[in-house]
Structure 1
Amino acid sequence: MGEKEKQKTAIVVGAGVGGVATAARLAKAGFRVTVIEKNAFTGGRCSIIHYDDYRFDQGPSLLLLPGLFREAFADLGTSLSAEGVELLKCEPNYNLWFSDGESFELSTDVARMKTEVEKWEGKDGFERYLGFLQEAHRHYEISVTHVLRKNFTSLLSMARPSFLRHLFPLHPFESIYSRASKYFWTERLRRVFTFGSMYMGMSPFDAPGTYSLLQYTELAEGIWYPRGGFHKVVEALVKVGERLGVSYRLSTTVSSIELDSSLKRATGVRLSDGESLTADVVIVNADLVYAYNNLLPPSSRATALQKRPASCSSISFYWAMNRKIPELTTHNVFLADDYRESFDDIFKKQLIPQQPSFYVNVPSRIDSTAAPEGTDAIVVLVPVGHLLDKQEGKGVDLHSKQDWDMMVTKARQTVFSTIEARTGARNLEQALVKEIRNTPQSWKEVFNLDKGAILGLSHSFFNVLSFRPSTKHPSIDRLHFVGASTHPGTGVPICLAGSKITSEQVLQDFGTAKPWESSTGRQAKIVRPIDQIQALPLLSNIHIAMLAILLCLVAAFYGIDGLEGLGEGIWR
């Protein structure tokens, strides 16, 4: 078989969501793919923790942007349902609990939202809420089309006219909080519609206004949960990949990425046991900062990446309860009274706030398979600062002592007392059968996350688009990246979108066709005349000027009263 006829080979380092999706895509394009994963399980942070008959989602516990999930499976010639993934709609989306005994219920139900918003913002509040949704809708549609489906390989990529004309409508230079403040006039609702910035590990006072798209997708498309746990999505992608020939090597650690003699081209990987594996291309799904600093030769770029702002970390508790806690819904958020100060404690001091905000998920409320009958499985996520090191720069209080044992104890006590005080639940600690937990140290050790930052690099303006680390190494050929810290960013659906960007970049390098463009398996929709979209044409400036002149002539001829009479005659 000639050189051109040989099957191309690829190695994917890491079996997170981005890694398994990229592996399946390349396999569909004809590559022989091997995935190397240090842990004994796939999914990375998107994995499952088991205790007896209790099941906990280790990381993500709600599915957003469902269209990106459907697209990923359609590109692979299948669907979520065909792979046995059943999505359950969470209704309401969240219950938000305040210290004054009040709560707010976020929902996709417009009538319910009208009642909730008007309760605090008055009759005009609902109209302003619809204005907020309209803006967030634009952020969503523009971002999906011009950011999540496009690569930004250089600063010139941001100068594309198709993107540049949308830059200011995305409000990247304003914060989520400042944008929300234009629509919501009470502090309570400003908090209700901005806490979601924590999905990206950012303060709502720093996160670009663009990311109100997250609130939009929740309110317009809903929050979903895969029956059996979020890892069901990963399992399905793994199975699809295996059918296409992907080979998985779990409990296998990569010690370095192999380069040719010129150090300009990736040729494979070396494992911790000394074994060397060769491939035509290497795709890294490990934490990007870790990869640059531990799998590649030392470089100024690797050092610079360590100095970039990182997202927060978390203290996460996984609680097996011996009874149900009916006061809690599927998704619950408890907001601190000192809202801004709590974020400053996390992002400026890298500590746990004096009064932390936190998120509580009860998967057994939506999916009974998560816990034995009559009991609940509970996951608690308390955002905290990431691990400090000597490279931390300005804006961080290096004199703050990170006493993690103290912070874990404080987080645990605060969560129990706050839930009981705000919801009326009683004796939670006495109902606890088993506690498992993750801290910044365990996030770092188990998943190689730099500083234990659970969402990778920050998403501030100078850490996104062309400023975010590229999906391809700038000086080493045949070395690509996919995952939270590379473009387009963090979060399961965003990493799925990133897998398509990275896969297509690899295929372009090899001159290989994209199989999902020619065989999506979708039947063309028949558009009947009655269903044709026929937008009314907008008046041009010339038409407007002509209309104005015509009205002036009519007014001069009939007089003002005559003009009004003419109008009445027309409407009769």
Structure 2
Amino acid sequence: MEKQYTPSQQKKKTAIVVGAGVGGVATAARLQMAGFDVTVIEKNDFTGGRCSLIHKDGHRFDQGPSLLLLPNLFHETFRDLGTSLQEEGVELLKCEPNYNIYFKDGERVEMSSDLARMKSEIERIEGPEGWAGYLGFLKESGQHYDISYIHVLKRNFEGFTSMLRREFVGKVLALHTHQSVYTRAAKYFKSERLRRVFTFAAMYLGMSPYDAPGTYSLLQYSELAEGIWYPRGGFHRIPETLVDISKRNGATYRLNTPVKQVLLSPDSKRATGVLLADGTSLHADVVVLNADLVHSYTTLLPPSPRATALKSRPHSCSSISLYWSLSSKAEKLSTHNIFLADSYKESFDSIFKRQDLPDELSFYVNVPSRIDPTAAPEGGDSLVVLVPCGHITSESKDWPANVARVREEVLTAIQQRTGEDLRPKIVSETVNTPEVWQEKFNLHQGAILGMSHSFFNVLVFRPTTKHPEIEGCYFVGASTHPGTGVPICLAGAKITTEQILKNEGMPAPWVTNEQFHKQRPRTEDAPFWALVALVVMVGGWVAMRAVEM
């Protein structure tokens, strides 16, 4: 018999989560633990969204994320759910070195969380004085990390009054949102080579290092201070385990179940459930949309000016991703490898200003079987190549031709820079193009990381976690607050869940009374401090951009 969620027939509060991406399954696990009866609805036949796996000929590939950064956010999620990664059987493997970064002239730079190894690399390139610059960069990026962790990833920004916190206003300039990641790195490194080494990570946000706010050097800090990790069995172990936890507590998952629209009350002021593609209606007290935000607003919700505005907001890049099954080892490649274009800035301009494929490619190569042998048959390797490119525009592109060009240029670059020819080792290939990302995951324009993290797309400017006009309708995922990336979406799941519980008058099991009162913002002079924060941020951004131009 069809399970129908009708609030009047249930003692428990009920929730429907649309989309089983990382943010969706983490929200489901938290809501179920807090006392909701949760159903998760997913259009695909797998969970995890982009954080899922591809299997082929005994080889395993991470479809999307392959680096576990900001590990504290992962540990916090499982701790809040009354367990731990270790208790759930998830083993995190430390990747050492972090990366090998290859340049066209044959130079290779090794990145590591080992201070001695980093000191050797820095001084080899910039001499003894370069070490002081590195430590200065580490101190600043660590400051970005600490401020963001406390004041951004732990807080909701529902409106301009959310900027009122005095302690946050005093730290706005220290976040360097008014300068770019590249500009901040240039302060500490004199060589162009190291400036590139310490800024390419802006691509984790789908942004150019020349446009990404300086705050995001926190990603490099996480890599250098905490290391890069990988879950044995693939990155999907994270969402898979969250699904298991929520199911143990009673949550229901329905895969292969597309949603047609969100159901609303007669006055259109409250979400009451969802209408499935097969015509079935499911009802609930709360609906959480983990689908791509533009898809949610333009397809699942009624037409509105907000939906139109979201479509025009800047979005992240897309990618051509190649998944290669190798018959033998790629001996010269480590777990994580970066190949940077000589025309560094020009390649980013092609991607982000012209939404195109650069004339010279920068790309990332992941060999999961190097750190986790279970990713490939004995004697072989699994290899993923991610080539950033522009997202889909109205201008048509010949994707088969682009894929052929990318394949050849990647193989040539690997051979020239490492001395290894992978061509005879490739036995099968799977390809994701921007069109595949769009079709498989409903990603607007095939943007693999959702909405951009440009200055006017973060903090109070980023779309909120609750629908402004529709009660009981919430959002979680890459394009809502706080932002994109697996750990950030886990932080967002906590923010969204606590917002739901507060509005429903229910306690969060993981928050003590002492913590609750400590986290309550001071509101007596909200308008003044909100205005101060806004003036400081926007004024600083305009002034510094004018200087940089």
Calculate the TM-score normalised by the size of structure 2: 0.91
SS for the counterpart of 1:483 is coil
**Deviation at 1:403?**
2.4
1:413-432 correspondence to structure 2 within 5 Å: 413-426=408-421, 428-432=422-426
Match of 1:96 in 2: 101
Aligned identity (percent) is 64
Q: 1: CA distance between counterparts of 2:350 and 2:413?
A: 19
CA contact (8 A) 1:315 1:382 kept: yes
Match of 2:336 in 1: 331
Matched, 1:499 2:493: yes
1:238-387 correspondence to structure 2 within 5 Å: 238-387=243-392
Match of 2:178 in 1: 173
Return closer, same or farther for 1:430/1:3 CA change in 2, 3 Å cut-off.
closer
Match of 2:400 in 1: 405
1:51-90 correspondence to structure 2 within 5 Å: 51-90=56-95
Q: 1: CA distance between counterparts of 2:115 and 2:496?
A: 38
Q: 2: CA distance between counterparts of 1:354 and 1:347?
A: 13
Match of 1:388 in 2: 393
Match of 1:475 in 2: 469
Which residue, out of 231, 238, 249, partners 2:236? 231
1:21-32 correspondence to structure 2 within 5 Å: 21-32=26-37
Match of 1:148 in 2: 153
Q: Which amino acid aligns with 1:237?
A: L
Match of 2:118 in 1: 113
Deviations 1:301-335 (A, max 9, x none): 00000000000000000000000011000000000
Q: 2: CA distance between counterparts of 1:246 and 1:108?
A: 39
Q: 2: CA distance between counterparts of 1:5 and 1:334?
A: 56
Matched, 1:451 2:445: yes
Q: Which amino acid aligns with 2:323?
A: Y
Q: Which amino acid aligns with 1:312?
A: C
List alignment gaps of at least 5 residues for structure 1.
Answer: 390-397, 521-572
Match of 1:162 in 2: 167
Q: 1: CA distance between counterparts of 2:405 and 2:308?
A: 34
**Deviation at 1:518?**
4.1
**Deviation at 1:350?**
0.8
CA contact (8 A) 1:351 1:402 kept: no
Q: Which amino acid aligns with 1:479?
A: C
SS for the counterpart of 2:510 is helix
Q: Could you list the runs of 4 or more consecutive aligned residues of structure 1 that deviate by over 3 angstroms after TM superposition?
A: 2-5
Q: 1: CA distance between counterparts of 2:103 and 2:227?
A: 23
Calculate the TM-score normalised by the size of structure 1: 0.88
Q: 2: CA distance between counterparts of 1:201 and 1:159?
A: 29
Q: Highest CA radius of gyration, 1 or 2?
A: 1
List alignment gaps of at least 5 residues for structure 2.
Answer: 1-6, 515-549
**Deviation at 1:162?**
2.1
**Deviation at 1:247?**
0.2
Return closer, same or farther for 1:240/1:417 CA change in 2, 3 Å cut-off.
same
Q: Which amino acid aligns with 2:97?
A: P
Which residue, out of 469, 481, 484, partners 1:487? 481
Q: Which amino acid aligns with 1:255?
A: K
CA contact (8 A) 1:77 1:519 kept: no
Deviations 1:394-453 (A, max 9, x none): xxxx6xx53222211111111000000000102x11111000010000000000000000
**Deviation at 1:3?**
6.8
**Deviation at 1:46?**
0.1
* Cα RMSD for the two superposed structures: 1.3
Return closer, same or farther for 1:24/1:328 CA change in 2, 3 Å cut-off.
same
Q: Which amino acid aligns with 1:431?
A: K
Q: Which amino acid aligns with 1:417?
A: T
Match of 1:192 in 2: 197
Return closer, same or farther for 1:121/1:235 CA change in 2, 3 Å cut-off.
same
Q: Which amino acid aligns with 1:425?
A: E
How many residues are treated as equivalent by the alignment? Answer: 508
SS for the counterpart of 1:20 is helix
Q: 2: CA distance between counterparts of 1:227 and 1:5?
A: 40
Q: Which amino acid aligns with 2:473?
A: L
**Deviation at 1:5?**
8.3
Q: Which amino acid aligns with 1:412?
A: R
